[in-house]
Amino acid sequence: MPLWLCLLCSVWFWGAAWAAVDVVDDSGQRIRLAQPAQRIISLAPHITELLYEIGAGEKIVGTVEYSDYPPDAKAIPRIGRHNALDLETVVMLKPDIVIAWQSGNPVHHVEKIMSLGIPVYFSEPVKLPDVADTLKRFGQLAGLAANAQQAQRQYIQRYQRLKQSNQHKSKVRVFYEIWNRPMMSINGKHIVNEVIELCGGDNVFKTLRPLTPTVDVEAVIKVDPEVIIASGVGEAPPPWLGEWDAWPQITAVKKRQVYHINPDYIHRQTSRILIGAERLCALLDKARKP
């Protein structure tokens, strides 16, 4: 074989090897792609947002309801809700990869997608540091490693600053209210619990078994939180937040330490969760003041 042809083959071989994608997802499954994904379907709002963070928004050809951030994401074609997918549309969009929410998407739908030969990456960041790792791996999938590394580095730096500035503060008892009817909170395995602990808070229902346990007013009175934080929906405080005024024997109510944080800033496993953490930390600092 002529030398020039050998060199050409060598360049092609190493170029192909460099372009190949080999990533392990959150389920432990190894994902291999011949080249970085150019057509991506996102099956959860947090996945869509993380892809935009690394500059892969234009590669998203389909997503689910409530994938609304950044604003450009609202223009992406919808394939249903996270728990009710239109599989026919998924196939028609011809994705190179589908990124699924491991605990949020119907198992039978995801298995059907996989049975059609479409690669599926499972995303399930359960801890705050997992967000940084997810950014990196999404960058590998989309061929945007440099962008992802920058986003990852910024996230880690911001996280470390929060951790260092709050680690020696006095504990504050916190009741985090997801919803009011039924009244629901979080246990110690929920990512919001980690945010509370990052800020020096103590989740009063952390020992309960369900991830989002149902509680009642009597239970809240018994644990006597110093701060009550409600999520609700969107930026405006939920209308039921004022109902706590009926229970002035609770320390948080008596001292007017009842607050709201937009759930988009604290429930979604994206870099914005640190915005939620900063807000929560500031609220706990207010409660620490005499």
How far is residue 215 CA from its own chain's centroid?
25
- pLDDT over 60 (residue 188): yes
Band (pLDDT 50/70/90 cuts) for residue 56 is: very high
Span 228-265, pLDDT tens digits: 999 988 888 998 999 999 999 999 999 999 999 999 99
Query: Which of 9-18, 34-43, 91-100, 241-250 shows the lowest mean pLDDT across its residues?
Result: 9-18
100's enclosing H/E stretch is strand 97-101
pTM assigned to the model: 0.90
pLDDT score recorded for residue 150: 98
Span 146-176, pLDDT tens digits: 999 999 999 999 999 999 999 999 999 999 9
Band (pLDDT 50/70/90 cuts) for residue 2 is: low
Domains, the chain, with CATH or none: 19-157 (3.40.50.1980), 169-288 (3.40.50.1980)
Span 252-262, pLDDT tens digits: 999 999 999 99
**Nearest Cα to Cα of residue 51 among 16, 93, 101, 92:** 101
Report the share of the chain in percent with pLDDT over 90: 89
CA-CA-CA-CA torsion for 281, 49, 88, 97, nearest 10 degrees? -120
Q: Is 44 within 8 Å of 65 (Cβ atoms)? A: no
pLDDT score recorded for residue 233: 82
| DSSP track, 36-84 | --SSEEE-SHHHHHHHHHTT-GGGEEEB-TT---SGGGGGSPB-EETTE
Report the share of the chain in percent with pLDDT over 70: 93
- CA–CA distance from 144 to each of 69, 84, 87, 133 (Å)? 20, 30, 28, 14
